[in-house]
Amino acid sequence: MCAMPTEDATAEVSADETVAETGERDQFSGNLGFILAAVGSAIGLGNIWRFPFITAANGGAAFVLVYLGLLVVMGLPVLLAEIAVGRKAQLNAVGAYRDAGEQGETWKYAGLLGVVAALTVLSFYAVVAGWTIQYVLGSVTGAYFGDPGTYLQGILEGPSAILFQLIFMSLTAMVIAAGVSDGIENTVEVLMPALFLILGGLAIYAFTLDGAGAGYSFFLSPEWGIFTDYGSLPALLVDAAGQAAFTLSLGQAALITYGSYLGKDRDLSGSSLAVVVGNTSASFLAALAVFPMLASFGILGTAGGVETTFQALPAFFASLDLWGRVLGVAFFSVLAMGAFTSAISLLEIPVSYAVDEFGVERWKAAVLIAEAVALFGLLSALDQDFLTMADQIAVNLLIVTGIFLISVYAGWYFPDLKEEVNRGANYVKLGGFAQIMLRYVTPVLLLVLVLFSYYDFACNTVGLC
Ligand code: PHE
């Protein structure tokens, strides 16, 4: 791990002379590198694990329609806004909120909230990612084939959870230490195509299984009743919006940070569309792979979550013996790769903050912050209840607050939004309609989401009502 020449230069930047002013900032070498990095951030445990089950549990195709609608009215505008704020300022989350628009001295705390959210998510995300590595290895050796349930209990908490969390964090830190183009971009250029190839292969294989049809209909059969069940409609909207935000990596300045490494001639709206389409495709491919497998094994009804991914599917792989090992390696590698490219974006958020604002050398920031996160993550690696709590605090409080804040900032305090988006746009330019959406529709929608989410957290997580 050695520092790049450019980073040495950034280390010498004094506090009042930002990296942006010295022009020494690393950049993505092209639109494709940026898109792959942003898609890599987006595709993760949220797509392969969360999406299939949240859909099946919430009315199938009816939920998918709500979710897709929210991706368009909320996900895409917020994504675009984050990238535009980052690209405008050419600075980390805190610096970008401070410098891109008006009243920055107040708004910089929204950036700080993003940094805190990223650190919190990374602390438990790395633990779950560690499980996926253990399952790749377990598929190779067949270690879980005898008794998937016991294997799962053995790896969730304790020494092996800690060990693999540390391995995962070290790998993530190495990529970040190498820089944006040499580290992040080179990694996602290999891993993203591989992930899509393997996931596509798994979906095709699943199509050939007996009972695939039952799997598809379990996933998608629409329950239109959800639209008229007014009592549960708000909770459904919150679920769909939360999923849309988490899966696109919104609300914690990941895209502000990546956007800050984009050149001024890059196409922001085209890239944003590509990210949403790429991320949604991965979610659907994952569902099309997972449900037929569960259906063919006769365990379609099992609840979602940890047990299904790390116990029911492994039981199916175990039943296939040698072929099951191949499938197991393929499936858990996809999970591990998705988690890795997401974790990379999460670590980059605090690292770019340390580099830009405090002049810390990149590699030092990467190592020190990764160590601190790993230390905090020990709590999640030792106690599952803590992990669940960290997840809920991060998603239901920090991230939803983050997307609400960026939407208000973009709509009301960032007058250059339209100019920034349209500079370099090849296909889609931001017009009056989009601006009205960003000013009036998205913030109001998100305010409702935030309030429901807080209420849900207070009632169901803390148990206040
Ligand atoms: N989008 C990632 C997923 O779906 C999670 C993530 C959230 C990653 C925020 C980075 C930032 O798993």
Q: What is the pLDDT of residues 14-43, one digit of tens each?
A: 444 545 445 568 899 988 999 999 999 999
Question: Does ligand 1 come within 6 angstroms of the Cβ of 47?
Answer: yes
Please tell me the distance between residue 152's alpha carbon and the centre of ligand 1 in angstroms.
Answer: 24
Q: What is the pLDDT of residue 19?
A: 53
Q: How far apart are CA 139 and CA 318, in angstroms?
A: 9
- Counting beta carbons within 10 angstroms of the beta carbon of residue 303, is it exposed (0 to 12), middle (13 to 18) or buried (19 or more)? exposed
Please tell me the distance between residue 44's alpha carbon and the centre of ligand 1 in angstroms.
Answer: 6
Residue having the nearest C-alpha atom to atom 11 of ligand 1: 249
Q: How far apart are CA 67 and CA 147, in angstroms?
A: 37
Length of the chain: 465
Q: Which two tokens stand for residue 168?
A: 């995962």
Residue having the nearest C-alpha atom to atom 6 of ligand 1: 249
Question: Does ligand 1 come within 6 angstroms of the Cβ of 345?
Answer: yes
Residue having the nearest C-alpha atom to atom 7 of ligand 1: 249
Q: How far apart are CA 456 and CA 452, in angstroms?
A: 6
SS3 of the chain: the string is CCCCHHHHHHHCCCCCCCHHHHCCCCCCCCHHHHHHHHHHHHCCHHHHHHHHHHHHHCCCHHHHHHHHHHHHHHHHHHHHHHHHHHHHHCCCHHHHHHHHCCCHHHHHHHHHHHHHHHHHHHHHHHHHHHHHHHHHHHHHHCCCCCCHHHHHHHHHCCHHHHHHHHHHHHHHHHHHHCCHHHHHHHHHHHHHHHHHHHHHHHHHHHHCCCCHHHHHHHHHCCCHHHHCCCCCHHHHHHHHHHHHHHHCCCCCCHHHHHHCCCCCCCCHHHHHHHHHHHHHHHHHHHHHHHHHHHHHCCCCCCCCCHHHHHHHHHHHHHHCCHHHHHHHHHHHHHHHHHHHHHHHHHHHHHHHHHHHHHCCCHHHHHHHHHHHHHHHHHHHHHCHHHHHHHHHHHHHHHHHHHHHHHHHHHHHHCCCHHHHHHCCCCCCCCCHHHHHHHHHHHHHHHHHHHHHHHHHHHHHHCCCC
Question: Does ligand 1 come within 6 angstroms of the Cβ of 252?
Answer: yes
Question: Does ligand 1 come within 6 angstroms of the Cβ of 257?
Answer: no
Q: What is the pLDDT of residue 218?
A: 82
Atom of ligand 1 nearest to the CA of 248: 1
Q: What is the pLDDT of residue 348?
A: 98
Please tell me the distance between residue 245's alpha carbon and the centre of ligand 1 in angstroms.
Answer: 9
Ligand 1 pocket, mutate which of 39, 41, 53, 283 (most atoms under 8 A from CB): 41
Contacts of residue 212, defined as CB under 8 A and 6 or more positions apart, other chains included, come to 206, 292, 295, 296
Atom of ligand 1 nearest to the CA of 46: 4
Q: What is the pLDDT of residue 2?
A: 37
Task: Report whether 296 contacts 103 (CB < 8 A).
Answer: no
Q: How far apart are CA 263 and CA 408, in angstroms?
A: 25
Task: Report whether 237 contacts 54 (CB < 8 A).
Answer: no
Q: What is the pLDDT of residue 60?
A: 79
Look at residues 297, 272, 252, 361 and name the one whose alpha carbon lies nearest to residue 71. Answer: 272
Atom of ligand 1 nearest to the CA of 45: 12
SS3 of 410-452: the string is HHHHCCCHHHHHHCCCCCCCCCHHHHHHHHHHHHHHHHHHHHH
Please tell me the distance between residue 209's alpha carbon and the centre of ligand 1 in angstroms.
Answer: 31
Q: How far apart are CA 330 and CA 324, in angstroms?
A: 10
Q: Percent of the chain at pLDDT above 70?
A: 93
Q: Which residues of the chain have pLDDT under 50?
A: 1-16, 18, 20-21
pTM score, whole prediction:
0.91
Please tell me the distance between residue 319's alpha carbon and the centre of ligand 1 in angstroms.
Answer: 32
Question: Does ligand 1 come within 6 angstroms of the Cβ of 172?
Answer: no
Residue having the nearest C-alpha atom to atom 9 of ligand 1: 249
Q: What is the pLDDT of residue 365?
A: 97
Q: What is the pLDDT of residue 52?
A: 81
Atom of ligand 1 nearest to the CA of 117: 9
Q: How many CB atoms lie within 10 A of CB 42?
A: 29
Look at residues 156, 150, 161, 135 and name the one whose alpha carbon lies nearest to residue 313. Answer: 135
Ligand 1 pocket, mutate which of 71, 83, 127, 342 (most atoms under 8 A from CB): 342
Q: For tokens 């349209």, what's the residue?
A: 422
